[in-house]
Amino acid sequence: MEEEKGNIKSLLEAASKAANLILECVRKGEKILIESHLDADGIAAAGILGKALYRLESNLRIRIEKRFDEKVAEDIASENPRLTVFTDMGSGYLDILSEKLPRKEIVILDHHQPLKEDAYESFLQVNPHLHGIDGSRDLSGSGTSYLVAKKLDESNTDLAYLAVVGALGDLQDKYEQRSLGGVNRIIVEDAVKSGYLEIDTDLLFFGRETRPIHKALAYTTNPFIPDVSGEEDKALALLAGLDIPVKNMEKWRALRDLSQDEKKKLFSVLAGHLASKGLQSDVAMNLIGTIYTLKREEPWTPLRDAREFALLLNATGRTGKPSLGVSICMGGKGAILEQADAVLDEYRQNIMKYLNLLNENPDHIEELSNIYVLHGENLIDEKMLSAVSTIISTNLPKPNKPVIAYSIVPDEGIVKISARANDLLTRSGLNLGEIVRIAAEKSSGKGGGHDIAAGGQVPYDRRKEFIRLVDELVKEKMERMKLGG
């Protein structure tokens, strides 16, 4: 416990240093550029810091990137801001930053595993990994940005709820009953105290606040429910068979309208259904967990439930409209929210389309000795790959094998990689981020991430070599883990 307190204290001291440097630029009226990633966590991180700096009337610009590479670094050099702040990215690309942006003022607010070479110690980083804190479970990129925003001004505690959204978007709800833990728990407490957040335990259907119960059931993909997810008519039939009305008079019922007995009956049938499909018993338990409700958002909007909010942000980023997500994080509503909601519906439909395509083309999922490979090729849009790989990873017959998914990036001659492992593997010592980094670099690419989730890109004609290397590296690590055990 004392060690944990010391780690958090050290992390907060780093956050203070970053905040002081940012405040120095604000006071001088100098240009600040925020560079962030296009997933939910990255957009929430940019929104938090953007809002905090907007309140300080700073000279600010925000850019959202699908990945960081030499081209992005060159664009930053050409723009030449006084200070560049990376949120939810940067720590895994210290080599590129060192080469392409020498002598530039840079702050990195990240939670991915950093490159550890001594040459990069000069970078001002706020990263949980540098303080003995797990960045894949205990603090997200948006959480790191929030800690700095809070150091900028204590009143920014009203932005804590956005860090909760970002952490959920990064699937950090790995604690009991799918709750947030570690440093995230401190942020959750801030969000509750500020009056923005309410916590409960319930069924975790997508759209529990916004969709009729049969639609919420059909839209649920974590876990993916065979013959129910994506099948509204079958979801309706299931509810009818349980005598659970989908309407009250002429009004559709949402999950929140169901009685406890109805919820218990529904969960029991779904658990039995998942078991009949050969899925592990703990898969069904993913249907129940901690609910994070944003009290100041209107009911029947996608911002009311924090997980749905996260999916909306992810949708805006993955469909090339991240400015909508950033605007919503910074307070945008009305027409902006309507546009984002339409993007979310399209995004959900695309996920279902790809899952159905994989169901019709099972040969695209190959089982190797130590890993599963999802050959997305041209079948799956590279922007949707991470969402699809996450869902697939929870519905495989052998959860003790990581999933390595890839899709072609059009007109670039590369494939995007998305890799997923489960908690059991990572707690045994498997570090998927390190394995992907090594294999990608040996295949003339770049990669990294977390122990439980990683990504990268390699040339298309080196993809088979990359997959072979990952399979070998996983085997070596698993054998060492067995010997160690």
Per-residue pLDDT reduced to its tens digit, 316-366: 999 999 999 999 999 999 999 999 999 998 998 899 899 888 888 889 999
User: Collapsing DSSP states into helix, strand and coil, what is residue 414?
Assistant: strand
- Tell me the mean pLDDT in the region 34-52: 97
Are 86 and 222 within one domain?
no
Given this model, what pLDDT does residue 300 score? 80
> Which residue type, as a one-letter code, is found at position 120?
Y
Are 355 and 459 within one domain?
no
Are 221 and 337 within one domain?
yes
**What CATH number is given to the structural domain containing 372?**
3.10.310.40
Number of domains in the chain: 3
Question: Which residue, 218, 7, 47, is CA-closest to 128?
Answer: 7
Are 299 and 413 within one domain?
no
Buried b (16+ CB within 10 A) or exposed e, 52-87: bbeeeebebebbbbbbbeeebbeebeeeebebbbbb
Q: Is the dihedral of CA 83, 84, 88, 93 positive or negative?
A: negative
Are 73 and 54 within one domain?
yes
What sections of 113-259 are H helices per DSSP? 141-152, 160-169, 183-193, 213-219, 232-241
> Which residue type, as a one-letter code, is found at position 16?
S
> Which residue type, as a one-letter code, is found at position 355?
L
Are 386 and 418 within one domain?
yes
Q: Which of 359, 389, 423 is the endpoint of a domain?
A: 359
- Tell me the mean pLDDT in the region 257-265: 92
Are 300 and 397 within one domain?
no
Per-residue pLDDT reduced to its tens digit, 223-236: 788 888 888 899 99
Q: Which of 325, 359, 393 is the endpoint of a domain?
A: 359
* Structural domain harbouring 72: 2-196
Given this model, what pLDDT does residue 100 score? 92
Q: Which of 196, 221, 256 is the endpoint of a domain?
A: 196
Given this model, what pLDDT does residue 478 score? 85
**What CATH number is given to the structural domain containing 180?**
3.90.1640.30
Are 471 and 395 within one domain?
yes
Q: Is-contact 52 85, C-beta < 8 A?
A: no
Which distant-in-sequence residues (6+ apart) come within 8 Å of 294 by Cβ? 161, 165, 196, 197, 198, 303, 304, 305, 306, 309
Separation between Cα atoms, residue 252 and residue 182, nearest integer Å: 38
Both tokens of residue 69?
A: 């590479």
Are 404 and 351 within one domain?
no
Per-residue pLDDT band for 82 (boundaries 50, 70, 90) equals very high
Are 59 and 122 within one domain?
yes
pTM of structure:
0.90
Per-residue pLDDT reduced to its tens digit, 118-167: 656 778 999 999 999 999 999 999 999 999 999 999 999 999 999 999 99
Are 462 and 474 within one domain?
yes
Are 131 and 210 within one domain?
no
